[in-house]
Structure 1
Amino acid sequence: MTKIAVFPILETERLILRQVTQEDAGNLLTYLSDEDVMKYYGLEPFKSINDALDEISWYKSIFEKGTGIRWGISLKGQGKIIGSCGFLDCASQHYRAAVGIELSKEHWGERIANEAFEAVISYGFEQMNLQRIEALIEPPNIPSQKLVERQGFIREGLLRSYEFTCGKFDDLYMYSLLKQDYSN
């Protein structure tokens, strides 16, 4: 797995996945301030444009360090960021990374998350040469479980009190998809 020099743009039938910039802060604030979107995100809902700018800085820093990559999701021809998807905790020596996604509530149920997720997973296996992609999901987050299961992820087990976020300990299901089990 090699570090990516230039931020890649991914294109699907309906979507453009691109780097998030400071100009996108208002769009991020719109959906990351929504309690329903943030319910399983591990952070409190955003309250200010500075929260969104901090998130964008974090996206930039994980890319520059080679520990992750986060694409902004936009509908073709619109440019407005409506969610994000990508990898974090990239362990290049182990050819593994964790995947995550969130999407503006106004686009839930349109299979946009599925389309973006598919493109990112494909990039991970084909361009980043990952062997294993993981997804950590809170047990009550049924939509995310269904999303990863549709892509062929296997639930490996429950990580009890794995994270402490928003003042509480969270159990997380560990899902994985291996390169040899992936079919695009």
Structure 2
Amino acid sequence: MIEHPMIETDRLILRKVTLDDAKDMFDYLSDSEVVKHMGIAPYQTVEAVHEEVEWYHSILKEQTGIRWGITLKNSDKVIGSCGFLNRNGKHFRTEVGFELNKEYWGKGVAREALEAVVTFGFKHMKLERIEALIEPGNISSQNLVEKIGFVKEGLLRHYEYTCGKFDDLFIYSFLKGDKTNRKSEH
């Protein structure tokens, strides 16, 4: 089994999630505001969240991604997740995704987690390109990725079919050599 690395930042511990975290994850994955732009319906049961946890474990095993649970240093409660999916090792690229319990919105938590994950990807996973696919209506996520250095490349029309409809997605990219606002490189 592939080891799941832990990442520590000023305020956060990013760690592997387990089935024991499903209740904490249900708190935000059942919230329609949190999942609104994720292409999924709100989770209805804690047991349904087990599938999400199993997906996190499967993408690590298959080496197509890695997802970290976001916790505050003073608490082991998972308040969100951030990580990579659809990794293409041959082309040194991956997508990044994230979500956060809305109780923690606007406090810099998502930015701190995303910066740490992006830095990890370039430093330890030999990535050249990290992509973010974001719905046009998700202004806060667009602002977040732009703040840390992602560049909007264009609109992918009807790129995904989720929840009974076709979704357009903006594609953003961050290249290893791009100038960053990441604290670790100042």
- TM-score using structure 1 length: 0.96
Give me the whole-angstrom Cα distance separating, in 1, the residues matched to 2:166 and 2:74.
41
Q: Secondary structure at the match of 2:177?
A: helix
Matched, 1:96 2:127: no
Once the two structures are TM-superposed, the CA of residue 112 in structure 1 deviates from its matched residue by 0.2
**SS at 2:79 equivalent:** strand
Of the candidates 138, 146, 155, which is equivalent to residue 143 of structure 2? Answer: 146
CA distance in 2, matches of 1:24, 1:70: 13
The correspondence for 1:123, drawn from 103, 116, 120, is 120
Matches within 5 A, 1:28-177: 28-177=25-174
Q: How big is each residue's C-alpha offset from its partner over 1:21-73, in whole Å with a ceiling of 9 and x where there is no partner?
A: 00000001111000000100111000011211010000000000000000000
Deviation at 1:5, TM superposition (A): 2.9
Q: Which runs of 4+ in 1 moved over 3 A?
A: none
The separation in 2 between residues aligned to 1:162 and 1:17, in whole angstroms, is: 30
Runs of 5+ consecutive residues of structure 2 not aligned to the other structure: none
Q: Is the 8 A contact 2:92 2:126 kept in 1?
A: yes
Query: RMSD between aligned alpha carbons?
Result: 1.0
Give me the identity figure in percent.
Answer: 55
CA distance in 2, matches of 1:147, 1:51: 29
**Scaled by the length of structure 2, what TM-score is found?**
0.95
Check the 8 A contact 2:2/2:60 in 1, yes or no: no
5+ long unaligned stretches in structure 1: none
Q: How many residues align?
A: 181
SS at match of 1:79: coil
